[in-house]
Amino acid sequence: MNDAPSKPLVLFMPSGKRGRFPVGTPVLEAARQLGVYVESVCGGRATCGRCQVSVQEGRFAKHGIKSANDHLSPVGPKEERYDRVRGLPEGRRLSCSAQILGDLVIDVPQDTVINAQVVRKAADERVFDRNSAIRMCYVEVEEPDMEKPLGDLDRLKAALVADWHLENLDVDFHLIPKVQSILRKGEWKVTAAVHKDHDDAHPRIVALYPGLKNEAYGIACDIGSTTIAMHLSSLLSGRTVASAGTSNPQIRFGEDLMSRVSYVMMNPDGREAMTLAVREAVNGLIDKVCAEGGVSREDILDSVFVGNPIMHHLFLGIDPTELGGAPFALAVSGAVHVKSSEIGLPMNPGTRTYLLPCIAGHVGADAAAATLSEGPHRQDEMMLLVDIGTNAEIVLGNAARTVAASSPTGPAFEGAEISSGQRAAPGAIERVRIDPITLEPRFRVIGVEQWSDEPGFAEAAAATGVNGICGSGIIEVIAEMYLAGIISEDGVVDGSLGERSPRILENGRTFSYLLHDGEPRITVTQNDVRAIQLAKAALYAGVKLLMDKLGIDHVNRIGLAGAFGTFIDPKFAMVLGLIPDCDLTRVKAVGNAAGTGARMCLLNRSYRREIEETVRKIEKIETALEPKFQEHFVYAMALPNKIDPFPNLSAAVTLPERKVLADAAGEGGARRRRRSRE
């Protein structure tokens, strides 16, 4: 007997999930059965107001549904009371109370404070399903009864089993002395914050509030060696209510990662001092996002952190010395679960902290988070994900297979080891163009609107100065020098051009290019070019090694993560041969993908399982152990390099650029490619 046709068809938007349900089924119940996330704290009592939905009216030919408001039960007394007391927007219904009477298309609102979904700030506006590790559960607890001498806590647990199916509940000890007063203050109506992460069988009460508690927050934080960035999000609506960043105060112990490891090795209390420094900075950021979002620290119940392995270890109080030399052994590679108070982050006594797994000794939880965010493992196309810092963390793969490695690029891309290099800050040159005929440059500095050859530049730049070149500026100036013929494909500054231009300066046996004749004088020296060549060769060799592993010679997509990736122009990155050939429209800055991955794990614990599983499967390649790495490295020293064709690049650069490239490819590149095959 098939009774399906007699049941109304319900379609939820925007997810498109649909199913048939008996007349009288509450909409919230239907959503749950279909796995459509609709918030609810009060357990269907029509008091929390979180489960609002609306009905799309009319005929939806595509879906074969004629939806109408009268296919929903009329507003009942509970819903009417909620509307009177707290107000329900026009057209909205409480899905816990509204029952299905006929076919329906239900809109789950994505755009309001109530029920706002998380939208990535990056280009593709993905919507996350939510399933946070913290669930707010309102219950009404039986009052004590001499005939049934269960304790207060035990009756609370019984209510959570009955209303929320939370069996085998554990409870944080700090709550035990408070249970009786909270229950009495709430007149036996309380909201329990229940933490359920990897241990499904034993959820845990981590906070308890008298009455209905309708909000809980979480933080997602990316601890970079230079910058720490944090987002504060509502765990219920998913909305990000505040964001803040700060520089990592560990910089005072060492600019780059290896100098921080050295500091630990040289100073008996170095590890402790750096742990304290980063935790203080994180605490400062928590205060900042709380102030900005108007949220109490006590209301933060969950937190997710990512960072590279050394940041990860120092944050947890682990000595990073082992990461400073082979075999680069992580103390812990799997995901870490800890009470926030145990790592010096006082919020609520029940607040939890989750750290994503590290992939390898040089490929950290940040790379794991970026992987989760960009999802090479979720797609059929071959994607390359690169995060450039002192080490480049490289992930390459698709749904079938994913490999990862790190490559010792050194700090040149960050402006270190460059004569006029500096960190990205006001006054740093970030964009450069060189006229291939006159060899005259024009540039932009951070903090100034105009290019250097535009009117008003001098006045505007007076405030910032023109102080040096930052990472993206270095890439552009060297790429432009190459395209203008100032440097050869082997990276040699052509001194003979000194005849054509006063910009070519002689320094003993080598030459340099005068980018800005101010105070300070900004030049690009032969050593600077070599430093960038070394760095880019290391990066490219790492990428190439992973491509070898997968047996591919082409990638479909490239994601450039982190600040460096955000500011460099993909074309110039390809001119220098930092990245392999790829359709330039498919090379994208993915911003703080690590931060996005952290936020995904904050808002949905399924993402935690996904990345843990993915990291277990990722094949880790240790570049230092691969004989081919050195060979790739040598060939990759040339610009763009001596082995691979860059058809997409040739199509993208304009004349006279194209001419130079063609020369390089024809006379140099092709010849050497032949040679390398012999």
Binding stretches for its own copies (CB under 8 A): 144-154, 157, 170, 173-174, 176-177, 179-181, 199, 201-202, 316-319, 322, 326-334, 336-339, 342-343, 358-361, 620, 622, 624-625
CB of 193 to its own copies, least distance (A): 18
The DSSP string of 347-383 is SSTT-EEEEPPP-BTTB-HHHHHHHHHH-GGG-SS-E
CB of 248 to its own copies, least distance (A): 20
For the four alpha carbons of 575, 578, 580 and 585, in that order, the dihedral sign comes to: negative
CB of 334 to its own copies, least distance (A): 5
CB of 392 to its own copies, least distance (A): 16
CB of 617 to its own copies, least distance (A): 13
154 versus 583: smaller Cβ distance to its own copies: 154
| CB 219 within 8 Å of CB 233 | yes
178 versus 521: smaller Cβ distance to its own copies: 178
SS3 state of residue 402:
strand
CB of 554 to its own copies, least distance (A): 27
| C-alpha gyration radius of the chain | 29
21 versus 188: smaller Cβ distance to its own copies: 188
CB of 386 to its own copies, least distance (A): 19
Of the candidates 556, 569, 544, which has an alpha carbon nearest to the alpha carbon of residue 633? 544
177 versus 455: smaller Cβ distance to its own copies: 177
149 versus 294: smaller Cβ distance to its own copies: 149
CB of 359 to its own copies, least distance (A): 7
654: phi > 0 → left, psi -120 to 50 → alpha, else beta; which?
beta
Beta bridge partners, 435, equal none
Distance CA 428, CA 444 (A): 8
205 versus 286: smaller Cβ distance to its own copies: 205
80 versus 619: smaller Cβ distance to its own copies: 619
Beta bridge partners, 521, equal 517
CB of 151 to its own copies, least distance (A): 3
508 versus 627: smaller Cβ distance to its own copies: 627
197 versus 430: smaller Cβ distance to its own copies: 197
9 versus 358: smaller Cβ distance to its own copies: 358
| CB 572 within 8 Å of CB 476 | yes
For the four alpha carbons of 284, 289, 295 and 298, in that order, the dihedral sign comes to: negative
266 versus 625: smaller Cβ distance to its own copies: 625
3 state SS for 133-194 = CEEEEEEECCCCECCECCCHHHHHHHHHHHHHCCCCCEECHHHCCCHHHHHHHCCCEEEEEE
CB of 177 to its own copies, least distance (A): 4
Distance of CA 532 to the CA centre of its chain: 27
Block residue for tokens 């843990």: 612
CB of 69 to its own copies, least distance (A): 47
Distance CA 660, CA 664 (A): 6
SS3 state of residue 74:
coil
Tokens standing for residue 48:
């929390």
Distance CA 235, CA 137 (A): 13
For the sheet with 504-507, list strands across it: 504-507, 510-517, 521-524
| CB 395 within 8 Å of CB 420 | no
| CB 441 within 8 Å of CB 515 | yes
CB of 168 to its own copies, least distance (A): 8
Contacts 24+ apart (CB under 8 A), 208-212: 208/156, 208/175, 208/178, 208/179, 208/182, 209/182, 210/182, 210/183, 210/185, 210/186, 211/186, 211/187, 212/41, 212/42, 212/47, 212/48, 212/138
Alpha helices in 551-626 (DSSP H): 562-567, 570-576, 593-603, 605-617
CB of 313 to its own copies, least distance (A): 9
Distance CA 219, CA 233 (A): 6
149 versus 268: smaller Cβ distance to its own copies: 149
Tokens standing for residue 71:
């296919």
329 versus 655: smaller Cβ distance to its own copies: 329
| Residue 502 CA: distances (Å) to CA of 309, 435, 444, 649 | 47, 14, 21, 30
CB of 307 to its own copies, least distance (A): 15
Of the candidates 498, 526, 499, which has an alpha carbon nearest to the alpha carbon of residue 510? 526
89 versus 334: smaller Cβ distance to its own copies: 334
Helix H or strand E segment including 262: helix 257-266
Tokens standing for residue 241:
């209510």
CB of 605 to its own copies, least distance (A): 16
Residue type present at position 676: S
101 versus 624: smaller Cβ distance to its own copies: 624
